[in-house]
Amino acid sequence: MKRNILVNVHRGVGALAFVTIACFFSSTLIAELWGTPAQITAVKTAILYIIPMLMLSMMATGATGNKLYPNKGKGVMAAKQLRMKVAAMNGLLVMLPSAIYLYVKASSGVFDGYFWTVQGIELVGGALNLTMIGLNIRAGLSLKRKKKPAGAQPA
């Protein structure tokens, strides 16, 4: 695959992952602050159904990043790789089990202390992943700026 296509795929799937997590986070906050139990349940159901797409976009982001920058274990690239590992582990070990648990509780109409505790944990995990991916986007943009030839005009 040509490098410019791979770069565009990497940008696209990375942006998709970031926007998806941001939508999960904001829809959860809105539903839980101002919504009814039925609206909270609808959000939890939607999140559970969309998680496979998020997982695929995260995997594609990692795969394209590794293909673009193999053996770049130093500097900015090492930091990006570490942040992706943190986001992936958080997603698999905290976010996914939380989403399943919250869906089961909400679809049963049970909004007890355990539900709200896990919901708080999920929101912290979501904020962490947004931060990690946001920092990676910023680092990627800074790499792009550094690679522009001298005298190049911004688009």
* Band of pLDDT at residue 149, cut at 50, 70 and 90: low
The predicted pLDDT at position 94 comes to 98
Q: Does pLDDT of 71 surpass 80? A: no
The predicted pLDDT at position 152 comes to 56
> Which CATH architecture best describes the domain 3-145?
Up-down Bundle (1.20)
* Band of pLDDT at residue 9, cut at 50, 70 and 90: very high
The predicted pLDDT at position 72 comes to 72
Give me the residue label for tokens 């869906």.
Answer: 103
Give me the residue label for tokens 């709200």.
Answer: 116
What's the mean pLDDT in 90-116? 98
CA atoms within 13 A on the CB side of 23: 14
The predicted pLDDT at position 46 comes to 98
Taking the model in full, what pTM does it have? 0.89
Kindly state the tokens that stand for 134.
Answer: 């946001």
